[in-house]
Amino acid sequence: MRRFFWQCLLCPSFDAPAMPRYGRRHDGSIRPCCPVGRPVAPRVNAVLDFIAALGRAALNLVRTAGALTLFGLTALSHLVRPPFYWRIFFGALIEIGFFSLPVVALTALFSGGVIALQSYTGFAQYHAQGAIAGIVVLAVTRELGPVMAGLMVAGRVGAAMAAEIGTMRVTDQIDALTTLSTNPMKYLVTPRLLAGTIALPCLVLVADMLGVMGGFIVSVVKLDFSAPAYIAATFAAVKTIDVTVGLAKAAVFGFLITLMGCYHGYTSRGGAQGVGSATTAAVVAASILLLASDYLLTDVFFSQ
Amino acid sequence: MTQSTPKIRIRGLCKAFGPKVVLDGIDLDVMPGTSMVIIGGSGSGKSVLLRCILGLIPADAGTIEIDGVNVLTLPPRRREEVIETIGMLFQNGALFDSLSVWENVAFGLLAAGRRHGRRPSRAEARATAGRVLEQVGLDPSVGALSPAELSGGMQKRVGLARAIAGQPDILFFDEPTTGLDPIMGAVIDGLIVDCVRKLGSTAIAITHDMASAQRIGDQAAMLYKGKLIWQGPAASLLNSGNPMVDQFTHGRREGPISMELRR
């Protein structure tokens, strides 16, 4: 019986995406993965299976990271090579920036309110209620605004992009673009990346204001703060850098969300199911990358 | 260019996906102004052959010459120019569903105009699209509809209109009649023959519909297991003398071709 073993990782015909084919059949026999695979003793197999699984995962990760980087760089390189598809760009800008407004606005409003309520519970014990305005505005502009807006847009726009481009892929529309003298990367990906990078900071600016307003409403209506004092405390606490770094984060998130949506859609395979898993992958990957890059950016800008 | 130079000349074309060899040394000549029909079973590599010529799939080995120039070794920009001279009708139409019908038909015109700096206005492009739609037997008012509102036959016509709108030198048809009723299939075949004749284009069509193959093609070739096992005039498809072609064209279960049900 031919089967997979660790040397397969070094084998020139090794093909990481094809690896899931390796496994046990229902009757317990082993499906071969590679024509040069040779049988190994069962006990050694268990150990090697484990190492192979690790290696497979590692190789896949490296492969995906490389492919993603190349994909992003290629898309960016089209920014400086005309033509640029303004129609697609404005369409994506409206879709991300305008039609995401309601969901982002509501999220920000409630998040700001929750911060005010929660910090009141804690701070009242130390008679430090005066700090609530500062807490709300810093939390919203530095973190909650960009992250909440980013996650909402990832779910709304990232998924839609992956589904749209994925469907175009599996119905040959992307190939059709090529035959109609249009570079699909330039037409589909570059305008969306640019639109995401520009639209998300605009959304976050709105989210910042509404988040602060949520905190203000809760503080004044429910917690009996004086409105002028709350506003004064807010302006005293916030610095320009808090807002600008939040907006810079938003630009990075916007780029990552659209990159994930486009990449997973563009590389999807195999009909409806392939498009479905591309959509899931786009949202999951965008959310994780968003939070990871949020940590890194916070570390760079605010850790001193 | 002399008359003896083939429009498309393929030598030793190979393509494998992992261990599965799909094209195994294809040699094919298509003379200018003729229509070549390639028949073969499902999964025999017909679509891959067209996609290799278009550069949608990179070939592993061999040469593909269009007008005597090997397109596989051309730099990307020159290659795009060559591909611009090819129109393709995809199997399922592959119409852009985010655009209206006329925008689909005029897509190539606008894109080519943009590349060459003499882009037609949208009104001009729309008028041209209307004329091309008429050529394939559709009313220009169809142009305002979205592709999803059309029947399968109409989508094929729009796909054909999109393929011929740029007046390409070369036309590819990927299973043009699959999924259509016999009458609509014959209508589409008639349109294809008309368009190819009017434009004077060279055409390659892949199909497994024998009636369609004989209507469209001047020449025919059969692809089996990655190799061209037979070439000859399309008129002799049904009495080619080759046992494999005979089995295929007559749809017999018994014969030299055994269907691979499982790899």
The answer to whether the CB atoms of B115 and A179 lie below 8 A apart is no
Rg (CA), chain B: 19
- Residue A131 identity (one-letter amino acid): A
CA distance B243 to chain A (A): 33
The answer to whether the CB atoms of B94 and A173 lie below 8 A apart is yes
Name the residue among B96, B108, B162 with its Cβ closest to that of A181: B108
Residues from chain B that touch A13, judged by Cβ atoms under 8 A, are 18-19
Sequential pLDDT tens for chain B (263 residues): 445 788 888 888 888 887 888 888 888 888 888 888 888 877 778 888 888 888 888 888 888 888 888 888 888 888 888 888 888 888 888 889 888 889 898 888 888 777 777 777 888 888 888 888 888 888 888 888 888 888 888 888 888 888 888 888 888 988 888 877 888 888 888 888 888 888 888 888 888 888 888 888 888 888 888 888 888 888 877 877 788 888 888 777 777 777 655 44
CA separation for the pair A98, A138 (Å, rounded): 25
CA separation for the pair A129, A218 (Å, rounded): 13
pLDDT tens for each residue of A238-282: 888 889 999 999 999 999 999 999 999 999 988 888 899 999 999
Q: Which of A8, A87, A180, A192 to mutate to test the interface with B (most CBs of B within 10 A)?
A: A180
Give residue A43's pLDDT band: very low, low, confident or very high (50, 70, 90): low
Contact A293, A252 (CB under 8 A): yes
- Residue spans of the domains in chain A: they are 6-73, 82-302
Question: Which chain A residues in 54-113 lie under 8 Å from chain B, judged by CB atoms?
Answer: 83
Structure tokens at B176: 């043009």
Q: Using a pLDDT cut of 70, give the percent of chain B over it.
A: 97
CA distance A304 to chain B (A): 49
Please list the residues that pair with B174 across neighbouring strands. Answer: B206
Give residue A27's pLDDT band: very low, low, confident or very high (50, 70, 90): low
Name the residue among B56, B98, B111 with its Cβ closest to that of A180: B111
**ipTM, 2 decimals?**
0.85
Give me the pLDDT at residue A264, please: 94
Contact A137, A236 (CB under 8 A): no
The chain B residue lying nearest A172, using CA atoms, is: B94
The answer to whether the CB atoms of B90 and A83 lie below 8 A apart is no
Give me the pLDDT at residue A2, please: 43
Residues from chain A that touch B107, judged by Cβ atoms under 8 A, are 180, 182
The chain A residue lying nearest B86, using CA atoms, is: A179
CA separation for the pair A37, A31 (Å, rounded): 11
The answer to whether the CB atoms of B54 and A168 lie below 8 A apart is no
Question: Which chain A residues in 123-152 lie under 8 Å from chain B, judged by CB atoms?
Answer: none
3-class DSSP string for B153-164: HHHHHHHHHHHH
The answer to whether the CB atoms of A15 and B18 lie below 8 A apart is yes
Name the one residue in this structure whose structure tokens are 């015909």: A13
The answer to whether the CB atoms of B80 and A181 lie below 8 A apart is yes
The chain B residue lying nearest A16, using CA atoms, is: B18
The chain A residue lying nearest B96, using CA atoms, is: A173
CA distance B50 to chain A (A): 11
Largest CA distance in chain B: 58
CA separation for the pair A42, B43 (Å, rounded): 37
Whether the per-residue pLDDT at A4 is higher than 80: the answer is no
Domains of chain B: 1-85+168-263 (3.40.50.300), 94-162 (no CATH)
The chain A residue lying nearest B51, using CA atoms, is: A175
The answer to whether the CB atoms of B90 and A180 lie below 8 A apart is no
Structure tokens at B241: 């003398």
Give me the pLDDT at residue A49, please: 81
Give me the pLDDT at residue B260, please: 58
pLDDT tens for each residue of A125-158: 888 778 888 889 999 999 999 999 999 999 999 9
Helix A271-302 to helix A240-266 angle (10° resolution) is 160
Across the A:B interface, residue pairs with CB atoms under 8 Å apart total 58
Give residue A304's pLDDT band: very low, low, confident or very high (50, 70, 90): low
Give residue A237's pLDDT band: very low, low, confident or very high (50, 70, 90): confident
The answer to whether the CB atoms of B19 and A13 lie below 8 A apart is yes
Structure tokens at A252: 């990075």
Give the three-state DSSP class for A286. Answer: helix
Lowest mean pLDDT across A4-18, A223-237, A267-281: A4-18
Name the residue among A15, A168, A179 with its Cβ closest to that of B88: A179
Structure tokens at B4: 């003896």
Contact A290, A151 (CB under 8 A): yes
Give residue A204's pLDDT band: very low, low, confident or very high (50, 70, 90): very high
Determine the average pLDDT of the residues in A148-171: 93
pLDDT tens for each residue of B97-141: 888 889 898 888 888 777 777 777 888 888 888 888 888 888 888
Structure tokens at A275: 């498009």
